[in-house]
Amino acid sequence: MDGYITASQLALLTGKSKQWICKLCVDGRIPGARKEGATWMLDPLTRLPQSKVIERREKMVRELDEIAKLREAEAYEKSIKTIENAQERRLAIAEYLDRGYDIDATGTARRSDGKIVRIRPWGEDECAWLEEEKS
């Protein structure tokens, strides 16, 4: 056929094996491939598909990238919650300071009349909360 080359010639041009190119032709993975007798004829500008191993590897890389993006988003959301919780804790501390409480490093606030308030740490999904105790 005019303008077409054989599978052997394409193999030499691309550095791939003739057997691999013929298998692609049989599987219908090379568009426009035609068989003349026992010879496969191909367009010299034919773009060969990637091997399935490379396709699987690229698919895995895309999936891992997607997982990394999801984990990044989760970490971002968690850090935002931590910041919001810290801001709420600071507001609670400021409120008790305004009410005349002394607050120590453990988060215990004492008022001059002996009333004690413990500003407790929070869990992952909880905000700061206060518990009033009697002295």
- Helices 18-26 and 7-14, packing angle to 10 deg: 120
- Is there a contact between 21 and 10 (Cβ–Cβ < 8 Å)? yes
Q: Using one digit for the tens of pLDDT, what is the confidence trace for 58-106?
A: 889 999 999 999 999 999 888 888 888 788 878 877 877 787 777 777 7
3-state secondary structure of 131: strand
Share of the chain above pLDDT 90, in %: 27
Distance of CA 71 to the CA centre of its chain: 5
DSSP string, 42-78: E-TTPPPPPPHHHHHHHHHHHHHHHHHHHHHHHHHHH
Q: 115 or 8: whose pLDDT is higher?
A: 8
Angle at 109 between CA 101 and CA 86, to 5 degrees: 105
Single-letter residue type at 32: G
Confidence label for 7 from pLDDT (cuts 50, 70 and 90):
very high
The pLDDT value given to residue 25: 92
